[in-house]
Structure 1
Amino acid sequence: MAPGPHYRIELADRSAHRYRVTLTLPEPAAHQRFSLPVWIPGSYLVREFAKHLSGLMAVQGDHAVNVAQLDKASWQVDCQPDAGALMLSYDVYAFDASVRTAWLDDERAFFNPSSLCLRAHGFELQAHQVQLAGVPAGWHVATEMSPQAEGWHAADYDELLDHPFEIGPHWQGEFEAAGIVHGIVVAGAWPSFDGQRLLADVQRICEAQIAFWGEAPFKRYTFMLWAVEDGHGGLEHRASTALICARRELPTVAEPTAPSEGYVRLLGLFSHEYFHAWNVKRLRPSEFARFDYQRENYTELLWFFEGFTSYYDELMLLRAGLVDAPRYLKLLAASVNGVLASPGRRVQPLAQASFEAWTKYYRPDENSPNATSNYYAQGALVALCLDLSLREQGASLDQLMARLWQTTAGGPVSEADIISAVRALGGDPVAAALHTWVHGTDELPLRELLTSAGVDWRDEGRQTVAQRLGLRVRESALTGITVTHVLAGGAAQAGGCHARDEILAANGWRLRRLDDLPALLTAGCTTLRLLVSRDQRMVELSVDLPAAQAAAVALAPADAASPARQRWLGA
Structure 2
Amino acid sequence: MKKIFLMAAAAFFAFAANAQAPARNGVYYLVSFPNAAHHEAEITMTLTDVPAIGPLKVRMSRSSPGRYATHEFGKNIYNVKATDISGKDLSIKQIEGDVYEVGEHGTVVKISYTLFGNHTDGTYVGIDASHAHLNMPASFMWAIGMANRPVKFEFNDLDKYGWKVATQLKHEGDNVYSAPDLQYMMDSPTELSNVKTNYWDVVNTNGKKQKMGIAVHSDDDQATVDKFATMVQKVVLEEKAVFGEQPDYDYGSYTFLDDIHPTNFGDGMEHRNSTCIVDRSEKIAGNENNLLGTYSHEFFHSWNVERIRPKSLEPFNFEHANMSSELWFAEGFTQYYGELILARAGFNSIDDYTGTLGGLVNSVLAPPAPAKYSPAQMSRYAVFTDAGVAVDATNYTNVFTSYYVYGGATALALDLRLRSEFKITLDDYMRQVWLAYGKTGKPYTIPDLQNVLGKVTNPKFAAAFFNDYIYGVKKNNYEALLANAGLLLQKAAPGKGWMGRIPGRPGNGGLVIGGSTSTNSPAYKAGLDANDTIMQIDGKDVKEAAAINDIIKDKKPGDKVSVSYKNRTGNHEATITLEESPSVEVVTYEKAGKELSQQQKDFRSNWLSSKVK
TM over 0.5: yes
Aligned to 1:559: 597
Note the C-alpha offset of 1:193.
Answer: 9.6
Task: Supply the AA of the counterpart residue of 1:470.
Answer: G
The answer on whether the counterparts of 1:459 and 1:551 sit within 8 Å (CA) in structure 2 is yes
Larger deviation: 196-205 or 454-463? Answer: 454-463
Larger deviation: 298-307 or 205-214? Answer: 205-214
Aligned length: 556
CA deviation vs aligned residue, 1:389-412 (integer Å, no higher than 9, x gap): 222213222111111211233421
Q: How does 1:30-429 map to 2 (within 5 A)?
A: 30=52, 31-62=55-86, 63-81=88-106, 85-135=108-158, 136-149=160-173, 150-178=175-203, 179-189=209-219, 194-213=224-243, 214-218=245-249, 219-229=252-262, 231-247=265-281, 251-252=284-285, 255=286, 263-360=288-385, 362-363=387-388, 367-391=395-419, 392-408=421-437, 409-411=439-441, 412-429=443-460
Note the C-alpha offset of 1:300.
Answer: 0.8
CA deviation vs aligned residue, 1:316-371 (integer Å, no higher than 9, x gap): 11222222334323321222224433211112211111122112454585521211
Q: Is the aligned partner of 1:568 residue 2:592?
A: no
Distance 1:524 1:176 in 2: 59
Q: How does 1:414-453 map to 2 (within 5 A)?
A: 414-435=445-466, 436-453=468-485
SS at 2:229 equivalent: helix
CA deviation vs aligned residue, 1:280-335 (integer Å, no higher than 9, x gap): 11111012221221123222111110011111111111222222334323321222
Change (3 A) 1:203 1:406: same
Distance 1:28 1:469 in 2: 65
SS at 1:554 equivalent: strand
Distance 2:355 2:301 in 1: 24
Larger deviation: 131-140 or 411-420? Answer: 131-140
Aligned to 1:18: 40
Q: TM-score, normalised by structure 1?
A: 0.89
Task: Supply the AA of the counterpart residue of 1:570.
Answer: S
Task: Supply the AA of the counterpart residue of 2:414.
Answer: L
Distance 1:68 1:464 in 2: 65
Change (3 A) 1:172 1:540: farther
SS at 2:503 equivalent: strand
The answer on whether the counterparts of 1:127 and 1:153 sit within 8 Å (CA) in structure 2 is yes
Distance 1:197 1:475 in 2: 44
The answer on whether the counterparts of 1:190 and 1:247 sit within 8 Å (CA) in structure 2 is no
The answer on whether the counterparts of 1:361 and 1:374 sit within 8 Å (CA) in structure 2 is no
The answer on whether the counterparts of 2:558 and 2:579 sit within 8 Å (CA) in structure 1 is no
Distance 2:474 2:289 in 1: 32
Q: Percent identity?
A: 24
Change (3 A) 1:476 1:221: farther
SS at 2:112 equivalent: strand
The answer on whether the counterparts of 1:147 and 1:153 sit within 8 Å (CA) in structure 2 is yes
Distance 1:292 1:405 in 2: 24
SS at 1:202 equivalent: helix
Q: TM-score, normalised by structure 2?
A: 0.83
The answer on whether the counterparts of 2:268 and 2:277 sit within 8 Å (CA) in structure 1 is yes
SS at 1:283 equivalent: coil
Change (3 A) 1:503 1:167: farther
Task: Supply the AA of the counterpart residue of 1:187.
Answer: H
Q: Is the aligned partner of 1:516 residue 2:555?
A: no
Note the C-alpha offset of 1:533.
Answer: 5.7
Instruction: Point out where structure 1 has 5 or more consecutive residues left out of the alignment.
Output: 256-261
Distance 2:495 2:210 in 1: 49
Distance 1:338 1:59 in 2: 55
Larger deviation: 398-407 or 497-506? Answer: 497-506
SS at 1:92 equivalent: strand
Note the C-alpha offset of 1:273.
Answer: 0.4
Task: Supply the AA of the counterpart residue of 2:433.
Answer: L
Note the C-alpha offset of 1:431.
Answer: 0.6
Aligned to 1:259: none
Larger deviation: 185-194 or 23-32? Answer: 185-194
CA deviation vs aligned residue, 1:166-187 (integer Å, no higher than 9, x gap): 1223443334444533332333
Distance 2:144 2:579 in 1: 64
Aligned to 1:258: none
Task: Supply the AA of the counterpart residue of 1:117.
Answer: F
Aligned to 1:28: 50
Distance 2:500 2:433 in 1: 42
Task: Supply the AA of the counterpart residue of 1:395.
Answer: I
Aligned-pair RMSD on alpha carbons? 3.0
Change (3 A) 1:447 1:526: closer
Task: Supply the AA of the counterpart residue of 1:13.
Answer: N
Task: Supply the AA of the counterpart residue of 2:399.
Answer: A
Task: Supply the AA of the counterpart residue of 1:7.
Answer: Y
Distance 2:550 2:231 in 1: 44
Note the C-alpha offset of 1:438.
Answer: 0.8
Distance 1:10 1:464 in 2: 61
Distance 1:327 1:335 in 2: 13
SS at 1:330 equivalent: helix
Note the C-alpha offset of 1:463.
Answer: 7.7
Distance 1:186 1:538 in 2: 57
CA deviation vs aligned residue, 1:11-59 (integer Å, no higher than 9, x gap): 2322331111101112212232222211002111110111112121111
Change (3 A) 1:345 1:547: closer
Distance 1:101 1:231 in 2: 10
CA deviation vs aligned residue, 1:61-109 (integer Å, no higher than 9, x gap): 332111133323222223444xx52111111211123210111122221
The answer on whether the counterparts of 1:390 and 1:430 sit within 8 Å (CA) in structure 2 is no
The answer on whether the counterparts of 1:60 and 1:79 sit within 8 Å (CA) in structure 2 is no
Change (3 A) 1:267 1:6: same
SS at 2:397 equivalent: helix
Task: Supply the AA of the counterpart residue of 1:372.
Answer: F
CA deviation vs aligned residue, 1:518-549 (integer Å, no higher than 9, x gap): 3798x9994333344647x8743323241545
Distance 1:22 1:174 in 2: 33
Task: Supply the AA of the counterpart residue of 2:273.
Answer: A
